[in-house]
A = this chain, B = another copy of it.
Amino acid sequence: MRTGVWLVGARGSVAVTAVTGLLAMRAGLADTVGCVTESPELRDRGLPGLDELVVGGHDVVDTPLLKRSEELGAAGVVPAALVAAVASDLAAIEADIRPVPAAATQAATVAATVADLADFRRRHGLDQVVVVNVASTEPRPPRNDTHTDLGALRAALTGTEAVLPPSSLMAYAAFEAGCAFVDFTPSTGARLPALDELARLRRVPYAGNDGKTGETLVKSVLAPMFALRNLRVRSWSGINLLGGGDGASLTEPGANAAKTASKERVIGNALGYRPQGTTRIEYVEDLGDFKTAWDLISFSGFLGTAMRMEFTWHGCDSALAAPLVLDLARLAAAAHRAGRVGPLPELAFFFKDPIGEVAAGLVDQWATLVAFVAGLGEGGRAARA
């Protein structure tokens, strides 16, 4: 089952880390730490193998992949020795990274993107292609009536005004090309009724949004802990200090707001109420690809006794996100193959802001994921039979 992974933002830190790691694992130079689909519970359950993934993608910049990978090596995100070891493989992928199409109308941009995807599929003889958005976070777009009606949207796309933000335009193109779509960012992506309609029409699945890699991951286990012990969380405040490209793009207020809203949802969902406090994101260039998050949780226990907890998370976002990108590509491809159409709420384990009504706790999301993979296997076997 040769499976294409089309990365939107293919020269960004997450994508380059994912690709470098994929090549290193294939070459037997790295183990599979961080890859959820390589856990004992999910390994060998019929997902496409790491050897079966073929990488391509779009990016607006043109720095060579190898150079980007070397930069990550210098920054301590990936081992410099690994980059050197897979240099020729990285160079070979270069040919499959294309500039982002930009045409006079969004409809024409879609057409160019669909052509890129079709070429990619044909060139490599791929069974499926999954498009994964790992580009910079966009601001929330203004409401637009065409977003709820596929017919109206189609018509509007032929005009000169841009009615879809880039992430949604990409989802549109993916669906038109018969590809599954995963949004690893908090951007809008496929989360518009008109796009859901299109996904169903083209019979492809999609998943998102916003990879859960650090502070929110911790929240998704701590918030249920307080809930299960019937403790009352009074305030939960956090700050995220981050450098790197992601941090810089988040200084843009619209993008920051999109991200922050996504980060706060998990607490309210897990607790059943919204404690006081907010989550801040601050750009501190010097921190580079590493991120420090600090959270203060004040809570009361039996008879109202006031207590508190703090945590600090020092993580490398690219190293946390990259294996999940590979996981999601494998899972979405398997879902597509098994005939799943529309949103995949069973992948909530991976997202800060999952689509659909899903459990907020990580462990419940895990159980859902394991069952989902088991079900795909059966479906897959049935489909093949």
Interface residues of A (CB under 8 A from B): 17, 20-21, 24, 30, 32-36, 38-39, 76-79, 82, 217-218, 220-222, 224-225, 228-232, 234-235, 237, 239, 241, 275-278, 280, 282, 284-287, 290, 292, 294, 296, 298, 300-305, 307-316, 319-320, 322-323, 349, 361-364, 366
A302-B34 in contact given A218-B225, A307-B316, A310-B311 (Cβ < 8 Å): yes
Kindly provide the distance from the CB of A364 to the nearest chain B CB, expressed in whole angstroms: 7
Known: A77-B305, A284-B277, A294-B239. A300 touches B230 (CB 8 A): no
Output the nearest chain B residue to A370 by Cβ-Cβ distance. B228
Chain A interface main SS type: mixed
Assess whether B302 is in contact with A228, with CB atoms less than 8 Å apart.
no
Specify which chain B residues have a CB less than 8 angstroms from the CB of A220 in the assembled complex. Answer: 225
Chain B positions within 8 Å of A38 at CB level: 230
Q: Tell whether A309 pairs with B313 under 8 Å between CB atoms, given A282-B237, A363-B224.
A: yes
Q: Which residues of B contact A230 (CB under 8 A)?
A: 32-36, 38-39, 323
* CB closest residue in chain B, given A234: B286
CB < 8 Å neighbour of A229 from B34, B228, B241, B307: B34
A104 CB, min distance to chain B CBs, angstroms: 41
Within the assembled complex, what's the spacing in Å between the Cα atoms of A366 and B230? 12
**CA–CA, A294 to B292, complex, Å?**
12
Contact yes or no, A296 B21, CB < 8 A: no
**Contact of A319 with B307 in the complex, beta carbons under 8 Å:** yes
18 contacts between A and B (CB under 8 A): A21-B303, A24-B303, A33-B230, A33-B302, A34-B230, A34-B231, A35-B230, A38-B230, A218-B222, A218-B309, A221-B224, A221-B225, A294-B310, A301-B323, A302-B319, A302-B322, A302-B323, A311-B312
